[in-house]
Amino acid sequence: MSISPPRTKRMRTASSLCFAALFVYLAIAYVLMPSYWTQYTRHRPRLEDAPRITSAGHGLPGDPLNVAMIGSEESLKRAMLAAHWYPADGLTVRSCAHIVAATLFHRKYPMAPVSNLYLLGRKEDLAFERPVGGDPRHRHHVRFWRAPVVPAASGPVWVGAATYDTSVGLSHTTGQVTHHIAKNVDTERDFLFGDLRKSGELVDSYVIDGYHEVCNGRNGGGDPWHTDGNLWVGLLEIDLE
C-alpha cells in the first residue's frame, strides 16, 4: 500500500527537524561551548591555583597528576607493555570512528584513543590503557608528559595522570561526547603501580607526600575527583636514549 502524500510530508518534516537538531547540538557542543570556556578561563585562570593539574583543551582544569616514572622512553614503554597496558592510538577520524563503533556494538578496542589533556604547554607525550570488559566504555588509562630536566633524577622524568573511565556520556561543561572518570583517582594510581610491580620492570618506588595542596576538584568534563594528595614515583630500568 502506498504512503499517502500527507504522511510522506510529515516524514520529511520529521527528518528535517532531526537533522536540524543534530546540527544545533554539534554547533553548541563542539564550537560554541569550547569557545565560551576558553574565553572564561582566560579571565579566570583557575589553573594558577592548582599548577599540578592538567588542562583540558578549552582551558578548564583536567585530571590531577598522581604518578611519575623515572627512566627512558623505551623503558617506560617496555614496562607498560609488560604490565599489560597498551599504547593508545592517536586521535584521528578513523580511530574516533573505531571507538564509537566499538562502544555502540560492544566490540573490543584495546588501543582506543584518549582525549588530549595539556601540561607544560603541550598535550600528553604518551598514553596507555588497560581494557576492561568487551568494549571501550570502561578502561584503566594514564597519560604521561616528559618533565623538564631534573638534576637529581637518574633518568628522564615522566609525570602522569592515571584515571579510570566508568562510562561514556556527555560532558557536563561542553556537552561533547566523552568518558566519565571514577572520583577516587588514588585507586587508579594504586592499580597501575600494582600492575607495574607484577611486571618485574619496576626497580623501586617511593611516595612524595603532600604533592597536592588541593585534594578535590572537577576535570574538564565536570567529573568530580578526590586524592589523598600524594604522588607515587616509580624507578625503571636505566636505559640510555
pLDDT tens, 41-98? 443 333 333 358 898 876 778 899 999 999 999 999 999 999 999 999 876 778 777 7
How many angstroms separate the CA atoms of 232 and 189, rounded? 8
Residues of the chain with pLDDT under 50: 1, 40-50, 241
* Domain membership flag for residue 25: no
Structural domain count, the chain: 1
Q: Where are the beta strands (DSSP E) in 72-181?
A: 86-87, 118-119, 122-123, 126-132, 138-146, 157-170, 177-181
How many angstroms separate the CA atoms of 219 and 64, rounded? 8
Structural domain that includes position 154: 45-236
- Whole-model pTM: value is 0.75
How many angstroms separate the CA atoms of 159 and 86, rounded? 18
**DSSP H or E stretch at residue 120:** none
* Domain membership flag for residue 124: yes
Residue 65 CA neighbour count, 13 Å, CB half: 29
* Domain membership flag for residue 169: yes
How many angstroms separate the CA atoms of 197 and 180, rounded? 27
Q: In the structure grid, which three cell numbers stand for residue 63, read together?
A: 585530571
* Domain membership flag for residue 206: yes
For the chain, give the number of residues: 241
Nearest to 69 by CA among 60, 78, 61: 78
pLDDT of residue 177: 54
pLDDT of residue 47: 30
Nearest to 207 by CA among 227, 229, 226, 192: 229
Residue 41: DSSP 8-state? H
What values do phi and psi take at 88, rounded to 5? -80, 140
* Domain membership flag for residue 32: no
- With 0-12 CB in 10 A as exposed, 13-18 as middle and 19+ as buried, what is 226? middle
* Domain membership flag for residue 117: yes
* Domain membership flag for residue 230: yes
Q: Is 20 helix (H, G, I), strand (E, B) or coil?
A: helix
pLDDT of residue 201: 93
* Domain membership flag for residue 74: yes
